[in-house]
Amino acid sequence: MGKEKVLQLANHIGRKKHGSKSAYTYTDPEYMILEPVVTDEMAEVGLCLEFRNPKSAEEVAPLYGKSLEETEKQLWELAMAGVCFVGEKDGVDKFWLETWIPGVMEMMVNHKENVRKYPQIAEAFEAYGRIRGPQSAGIFPVGKGLMRVIPIEMAIDGESRRASYEEVSKYLNEATRFSVSDCACRTSREIMGEGCGHLKEEMCIQLDHAAEYYIRTGRGREITREEAFEIIKKAEENGLMHQIPNTDGPGKTHAICNCCGCSCYSLRTATMFYNNDMIRSNYVSQVDKDKCVACGECVKVCPVNALQLGQKLCEEAQVVEERIDLPSNTKWGPERWNPDYRINRKNVLDSGTSPCITQCPAHIPVQGYIKLASQGRYTEALELIKKQNPFPAVCGRICPRKCESVCTRGNIDEPVAIDDIKKFIAEQDLNKDIRYIPKKRHNYGKKIAVIGAGPSGLSCAYYLAIDGYKVTVFEKEKALGGMLTLGIPSYRLEKDVVNAEIDIIKELGVEFKTGIEVGKDISLDELRAQGYEAFYIAIGAQAGRKLGVDGEDAEGVISGVDFLREVNLGNVVDVKGKVVVVGGGNVAIDVARTATRAGASTVEMYCLESREEMPALDEEIEEALSEDVGINNSWGPKRILTEKGKVVGVEFKKCISVFDENNRFNPKYDEKDTMVVKADKVLLAIGQSIDWGGLLEGSKVELNPNNTIKVDPFTLQSAEPDIFAGGDVATGPKFAIDAIALGQEGAISIHRYVQPGQDLILGRDRKEYKAFDKENLELEGYDRIPRQRTPHVDGSKAKETFKDLRPTLTEDQVKKETERCLSCGATVVDQYICVGCGQCTTKCKFDAISLVRKYDEVNVDFRDLKPIIIKSLLKRKGRMITHSIKKSITGVRKVSK
């Protein structure tokens, strides 16, 4: 049995007749939120209060039947709990009731002690919208919902028909008192362990009487008008949008909320129930496809997933389902909801988008930075790149160019020189005076340890630093950069390029400790004792692999990665004479070309694969051949020949096939077809392995059969909850850009892990991209334009130096090359789903998306709402009948957009 008086109070607040069929019961959220903290005495005095009719303790005492002192005590208990408002009017404290939402429930959740002591409060707040929300489907006209989106003001600056009640500045300029509090929705999510990574602290602004209440009851901090504007600005910069309580009367409100679509209960009306009219502003987004380049920045920040990436070269192939059934004309039940909206958000239409952003492991907005470069906006282009990749100068020199391999321009003549354009843009990072250093978004301050200063670890440190974490990177070598510094030769990647981009990470406050091997010099437990709350392990695959043949332990047989490390450290490695390199990948190419520069008289590569099957990039193979490196395909080592413990040659056997019918590595040989090759040195570059040392001793971390760390493929969390891992230790040897991409994901997960109540998955961008089908493209009308190229590097000169002789495109060449981009992608907006917040417009750098006024509705006082709802309800019934008839004739169609 529950508390009868408390249930009566719940019905009184909800303006329901206690005991009637429509009245609340003991299982309803309205009762459940009150039950833990409201006593019978508090409930009795609450029953004497009225909705928005302030009363003093003197006025309530006769109704309550208790002394003035006791009445005042119980009223203050109610106000402190969040069940009623209190405000000073003419020098006297007066008390009144508010709506459940927005009102009582937020106020109760914002009691920081109660909500932690009684999680039921947070749960009831969540349940209210989930249970009551569907009941409002199609009933509230635009502009009349309990909460309402208010556009980001700069998004409607050019709209001549905008009204003052649609401007945040109006409310801030008219108010005289201000406070800021934690977001109630995010607090509730946090208590339930369902946070989305957007944190609750100091998010919502209260005005005038609400500010007074929040300040006096300890829910909020008093701020100035100027501070309120700064909070609004910071929220907008961080991708949040605004909503206001919408039932105070025309052009009035008592609060401004800064919301995210992944946790806000008001926005759930749109994201889960698709009842968007309930909360929308008077505006909708509109995309100018001719200006749009599908950079995707608008898609990322849209709180309701109204924007998705599509394409514009063959619109007939771009199918978007037309919304015929709406809450306003159709019975709206669970089968039409989207209960998984926090995990099924889509970046791309089913018909696909640009291949370049899809193919890039980091999903860098290629067409965006190319367009910016075409306009000479190089710093903005660099900023856009570094949202996904903190090492554009590095990648401009060593990237495998997966984006170019699928570039739509290649279907006309040749792919756009994407990597060369990126390299030109990133030259700014090499100049201290003009390099781009991102602004810190937060100042969270918690200590995080990154183990390994390679591309993945550095990427993780970079993004954590932007969020204001205290990051320390531990590196066992004296040099930073991992394989970027010690594995890639300088003729491909000059070390000053790596160091310049690492310097930016240092500028962000990241601390580096070199010459320290975690697991040997210090343990993970010791780091935990020092206050480190999470770890990102990214030590790379830094060791070589053995062949498993006789003679490989002889003097003169060297691991390729060890050889590269020694050369990059500046140590002398004797490779005079004939050098045989075993392997056919990019590392083997690096080893062979480095041996040429290090003094070898001849260098011959031998690999199992045919020329077509070689894993090395074609470009690197050609460069090796130009430097007189011999490449011998379809040969595998049988044994290494030795004399007196030293290598003298290698016996090879003919490889018939490398892969079986299932494309698995399973080489077959002709054991009779062999040959002997003389060698003074043998460099093995057949793959890399991971040397864990003592790093994982005593931990719960599990390893896969290939010795990589077992982590969740999305969150990168290991079996030890505070340990995350990425890069080669998680995936096996891959490209730097793959490691960089995982570093950012690791930072996202660690942020969520170390903050209380945050889930690692909910509300997270899954970065699932799909390229459009090129079979449907219409490219006949495009002229053939030659690709811009840098002058060819003479191999005979290149092999004489460790300097990178490859030039960069000139600015004139960049201008010409960027014009070759077809801008084949474009954002598509679902104007019904769009709630008109304007966040998308603030992120677009091309003036390609704008808010247009579609409605002209103003809010009303809650007490004037009932007749409007009844009228809307009757109209909806008529629309449902008409729509049902039309639908039976036309059916559901799919249309191109």
| pLDDT tens, position by position, 843-868 | 999 999 999 999 999 999 999 999 99
Q: What 3-state class would DSSP assign to 722?
A: coil
Q: Where are the alpha helices (DSSP H) in 615-725?
A: 618-626
| 8 A C-beta contact, residue 595 and residue 575 | yes
Other beta carbons less than 10 A from residue 592's beta carbon: 27
Tell whether the model's pLDDT for residue 599 goes beyond 80: yes
Other beta carbons less than 10 A from residue 336's beta carbon: 16
pLDDT in tens, 761-781: 999 999 999 999 988 788 888
pLDDT in tens, 385-409: 999 999 999 999 999 999 999 999 9
Which tops the pLDDT comparison, 45 or 895? Answer: 45
Q: Tell me, what amino acid is at 267?
A: L
Task: Report the pLDDT value the prediction gives residue 777, as an integer from 0 to 100.
Answer: 82
Of 291, 406, 254, which is closest to residue 772 (Cα–Cα)?
Answer: 406
User: Distance between CA atoms of 736 and 740, rounded to whole angstroms?
Assistant: 6
**CA 351 to chain CA centroid, nearest Å:** 23
pLDDT in tens, 339-373: 999 999 999 999 999 999 999 999 999 999 999 99
Of 108, 129, 169, which is closest to residue 279 (Cα–Cα)?
Answer: 129
Q: What 3-state class would DSSP assign to 605?
A: strand
| 8 A C-beta contact, residue 133 and residue 100 | no
For 291, list phi and psi in degrees, rounded to 5. Answer: -90, -25
With cut-offs at 50, 70 and 90, classify the pLDDT of residue 889.
Answer: confident
Tell whether the model's pLDDT for residue 414 goes beyond 80: yes
User: Distance between CA atoms of 652 and 632, rounded to whole angstroms?
Assistant: 11
Which tops the pLDDT comparison, 316 or 826? Answer: 826
Query: What's the Cα-to-Cα distance from 775 to each of 238, 314, 404, 414, rounded to whole Å?
Result: 39, 10, 18, 17
Of 101, 137, 159, which is closest to residue 282 (Cα–Cα)?
Answer: 159
Residue indicated by tokens 């996904």: 388
Mean pLDDT over the full length of the chain: 95
Which tops the pLDDT comparison, 890 or 147? Answer: 147
Sign of CA dihedral 291, 294, 296, 301: positive
Tell whether the model's pLDDT for residue 316 goes beyond 80: no
User: Distance between CA atoms of 510 and 502, rounded to whole angstroms?
Assistant: 10
Residue indicated by tokens 């008077």: 282
Over residues 177-181, mean pLDDT: 98
- What is the end-to-end Cα distance of the chain in Å, rounded? 57
Task: Report the pLDDT value the prediction gives residue 519, as an integer from 0 to 100.
Answer: 97
With cut-offs at 50, 70 and 90, classify the pLDDT of residue 892.
Answer: low
Question: What are the strands of the beta sheet with 147-150, ordered from one edge?
Answer: 147-150, 241-245, 255-259, 204-207, 178-181, 220-223
Which of 158-167, 198-207, 257-266, 558-567 is the least confident region?
158-167
User: Distance between CA atoms of 296 and 383, rounded to whole angstroms?
Assistant: 14
Task: Report the pLDDT value the prediction gives residue 891, as an integer from 0 to 100.
Answer: 60
Over residues 401-421, mean pLDDT: 96
Tell whether the model's pLDDT for residue 896 goes beyond 50: no
Query: What's the Cα-to-Cα distance from 643 to each of 276, 573, 574, 638, 815, rounded to whole Å?
Result: 81, 21, 18, 17, 60
Task: Report the pLDDT value the prediction gives residue 780, as an integer from 0 to 100.
Answer: 82
With cut-offs at 50, 70 and 90, classify the pLDDT of residue 327.
Answer: very high
Query: What's the Cα-to-Cα distance from 671 to each of 255, 356, 516, 551, 751, rounded to whole Å?
Result: 81, 44, 47, 18, 55
User: Distance between CA atoms of 618 and 200, rounded to whole angstroms?
Assistant: 51
Which of 434-443, 488-497, 708-717 is the least confident region?
434-443
Query: What's the Cα-to-Cα distance from 58 to each of 82, 86, 94, 551, rounded to whole Å?
Result: 21, 14, 9, 100
Please give the share of the chain, as a percent, with pLDDT higher than 70. 99
